[in-house]
Amino acid sequence: MYSDKDGLLLELDFVAGAAETFGNPGYIISRPNLHSTLLSLIPPERIHLNKRVLSHVETETGIIIRTSDNMTHEGNILVGADGAYSAVRESLYEHMDERGLLPASDKEPLKCSTICLVGQTHPLEPKEFQYPEDNVCVYESMLLNDKPIFIVIFTTAEKTICWMLLQFLDQETSKTDKNFRSSEWGPEAAGAMCNEVRNYPVVRGMKMGDLIDATPKEVICKVMLEEKLFETWTYGRTVLLGDACHKMSPAGGLGAQTAMGDAVVLVNYINTLTTVESEDVEKALKAYRNERYTIGKEGVKTSAAMFSIIKQGLIGKVIRFILSHMPRWLWFQILARSVRNRPQISFLPLAEDTCQIKAMHQPSLENTRPKIMAASV
């Protein structure tokens, strides 16, 4: 981490010893590549594009959703994995609030503390790519001294540079603006901000304008970053996962990891349902919430703490000083908290676990795998 005024502030090695301690080295995969991989594994007829849920109604035998194209769809369970401003959550909370069942904390708006501008360059030529030729990711950041700005860049094996600019909001501007209440990753809102930040210094003599010019416009996005842990994750046949129920600061790098863990645990419970009666469905969804709530809570808390590392002022300086003098074993102990939770899917062959850190107890695996193994005999 660098400062445009003070030079090097903090240096940490995430590579040495990581594979031995955590079982595998870390990997980076871009969103488009991840999307392509997932789409290749899902039958096309199961994917319906350009659908946005507006409302839902439960019946005696299932649940009906109404989408923005004036169509209705019926099923047994509704999973709201539609982001921080989840339409499924909004519809669910509306039903619960009418019945006096919604906790007061779930009625409060999300805390919007940061604006994020993010992108990924096209593959760069060697003369443009000022980084080692091996496939080890180089992660560098710049904290501007006189502006509430923090810039992150990291390299990929595809010879691209991923970049993110964070603009911290003060108490007044961090209030939720309903006109900009969007977590959609789209390029429309990014143009003006790109022009504002072009001359900001990055690292290695680059400026933001160099990265912006090397990035296809369609992959530059501007988004509000929110933080909030919701108490209500499920009611009736509806259940929430990921950002829809626990929105985290990106500083901890735990948002996607936690959401994928949610999906693993939820599908374990759903997969072993023998009936779709309301009582059985609700029991499975509550078991999922009971298993994942503490994980979501810790993720929000840890991400907020990691956010302090990039803060300006005395608090940030003290934290960076401590980290720069912290022994590697203690730093790995801190990181271990985030890798202890690595749930596995009970109906697939279990992955070999070579991590030195023991995985935490996973009730959904313990409770559902014996049923699956017995059924396969």
Quote the pLDDT of residue 137: 82
What mean pLDDT do residues 103-126 have? 90
Whole-structure pTM over 0.85, yes or no?
Answer: yes
Quote the pLDDT of residue 183: 44
What mean pLDDT do residues 225-240 have? 95
Higher per-residue confidence, 93 vs 353: 93
Task: Identify whether the C-beta of residue 233 lies closer than 8 Å to the C-beta of residue 297.
Answer: no
Quote the pLDDT of residue 334: 74
Quote the pLDDT of residue 179: 45
CATH of 48-103+231-376, one of 3.40.50.1470, 3.40.350.10, 3.40.1390.10, 3.50.50.60: 3.50.50.60
Out of 25-29, 107-111, 170-174, 246-250, pick the least confident: 170-174
User: 250-272: string of b/e by CB count within 10 Å (b at 16+)?
Assistant: bbbebbebbbebbbbbbbbbbeb
What mean pLDDT do residues 5-17 have? 75
